[in-house]
Amino acid sequence: MRKVGCCPFHSERVRLTDVSSNHITVGGALRLSREAVTSIQKWSSADMSAIHQSCLLKQLDQQRQQELFCDCNILVEGQIFRAHRNVLYGSSGYFRMLLSQGAKDTLESVNASFDVFSSEIFSIILDFIYSGHLELNSSNVIEVMSAASYLQMNDVISYCKTFIKSFLDISAKEDGEGRYLCLSDSMERAHDRRENVMEPSTLCDVSMSSQTRLWEHQEEDHIKEDITGVSSPEPSGIQQNSSPHPSLESQIDEEQFSPVLPERRRRGSRKRTATSRLVTEDTSLIDLQGVVSHCSQKADELYASLPSIVGVVGVFNKDSTPSMRYKCPFCTHTVKRKADLKRHLRCHTGERPYPCQACSKRFTRLEHLRSHFETIHQARKLVCRKCKRHVTEINGRVVTEGTRRYRLCDVCIQESGYSELITDEDGEKEGLLLGVEEETSENREMTWAMDDDDLAEDSGTDLIIQEVEDSDEDTGGM
DNA sequence: CTGGGGAGGGGGCCC
DNA sequence: GGGGCCCCCTCCCCA
């Protein structure tokens, strides 16, 4: 009579008396196929740790909900949250400092109180600490990030950054034909997910342009030569999701969550991002009205949700009175006024609400657009571009090349043979911008753009992206 | 390779 | 709070 066993992993019937090279006896009785043993070895090394951590975290969360072994009381807006000091210590730099100071009194409960964020926000963060899931939506993301900044929770900040950038994905994305498209698809995806729990899988689904902007802050040096993101490293916000709880697992890799680079450094990759280049290569006109208004609404929604004090820095005036400053939730920058913070945030969100209707470049500020338009498209500078001498309406002429206009003195015009490019004076006075060419609807659009005051968000309602020659000026400008 | 200038972008602050 | 100005810095192009 033969004894027959079963491989528990392959459900393969194995004759225990049949010792063949394809099966391994474990513990003298259990027989496993070699494939099963191999898979067990792989499975153990790769997943056991994560499973264990996940189970441990769930167990801790259950203890928290049952208030078992909780040795921390956190008071927020009159509401008391109970938690474990070990968990808080491993999740928050703020609590790490706080608990380190009272490390000797390990038997007594630790009490902490906060009035810089709401109980709802802290509840969200505490839930994340104990579950690894962050419940973000458009109305709480700024406050969550602000609180996370206060609590020194870099992983939460990274979550929020990714969320905001995917939410505010307003830059144009280039398709395979070199044409820049509106990002309604990615924005809709962001819209769809914004009310949902920020699961790791959704984080991985952040659009490429969002990722590149995020990496621009953290991995600038590495991606400079490969801003397209094809072979770029994973953003930190994604990497950390691979574990059930990165803070507990590794106490946060400080290198991985390095703070945002200073503003001056980030400009290094400005032109490689190509986020504002909306030039199309075909002759069709693309109406971005919907995109602009949609993005503007998204940005306004976020800005409106800014807490009254995003962060306070202990700065004192000369008379020793405290000076309140607004802290950027993305970086260490602080400003005196909320409006300045709003302006500053554009450099993080990538929002460019001021499009040039002549060349489709977009700007973060109206003054930058105006300066660009006057310099590039209106030739306002009374300086000869060639010899740099001052010119007047008498001894100088406006020369037009494509959408770019500049002035040359009569001498330089004769020397360089630009006479055929001289702009008609009458046309100039009337605001024509394309020189000797016939006035077209596009020309009128450009004229209107600077004549009217509604260049910014309002201009989006009539925004027409025009066909622009892929001239050196355009490519050089970006 | 290098220096100068143009263009773009960000901060501070005044109106 | 928004608009605007000034200043500074950085990047890129070109001679």
* Cα separation, A144 vs A116, whole angstroms: 11
- Please state, rounded to an integer, the average pLDDT across all residues of chain A: 58
From the C1' of C4, which residue's alpha carbon is nearest? A367
In Å, how far are A182, A444, A472 from A72, measured between CA atoms?
49, 67, 63
| H/E stretch holding A48 | helix A34-65
* Helix ranges restricted to H, A195-288: 200-203, 208-218, 220-223, 236-239, 246-250, 263-266, 270-273
A474 CA – B8 C1', rounded, Å: 13
Q: Is the pLDDT of residue A413 over 50?
A: yes
Angle at A202 between CA A160 and CA A194, to 5 degrees: 55
pLDDT digits (tens, 9 = 90+) for A3-51: 444 444 444 444 443 444 455 444 444 455 566 556 656 555 656 777 8
**Contact status, residue A120 vs residue A305, Cβ threshold 8 Å:** no
Name which of A139-143, A199-203, A354-358, A452-456 the model is least confident about.
Answer: A199-203
In chain C, which nucleotides are within 7 Å of a protein Cβ?
1-6, 9-14
**Six-digit token pair at A447?**
């004229």
From the C1' of C14, which residue's alpha carbon is nearest? A476
A283 CA – B9 C1', rounded, Å: 31
**Six-digit token pair at A234?**
């994973």
Mean pLDDT to the nearest integer, A403-429: 67
Q: Which amino acid is at A60?
A: L
From the alpha carbon of A267, which nucleotide's C1' atom is closest? C10
Count, residues in chain A: 478
Neighbours of A289 (CB within 10 A): 15
A400 CA – B13 C1', rounded, Å: 37
From the C1' of C9, which residue's alpha carbon is nearest? A264
pTM of the model: 0.43
Residue owning tokens 């050196």: A472
Q: Is the CB of A272 under 7 A from strand C?
A: yes
Q: Which amino acid is at A40?
A: I
From the alpha carbon of A300, which nucleotide's C1' atom is closest? C1
Q: Is the CB of A306 under 7 A from strand C?
A: no
* Cα separation, A318 vs A316, whole angstroms: 7
Residue owning tokens 């306004």: A300
A359 CA – B2 C1', rounded, Å: 32
Q: Is the CB of A308 under 7 A from strand C?
A: no
Predicted local confidence at residue A161, as pLDDT: 74
pLDDT digits (tens, 9 = 90+) for A250-261: 332 333 333 333
**Six-digit token pair at A196?**
């949902």
Q: Is the CB of A342 under 7 A from strand C?
A: yes
Predicted local confidence at residue A42, as pLDDT: 59
From the alpha carbon of A476, which nucleotide's C1' atom is closest? C12
Residue owning tokens 């000369």: A318
Mean pLDDT to the nearest integer, A213-219: 36
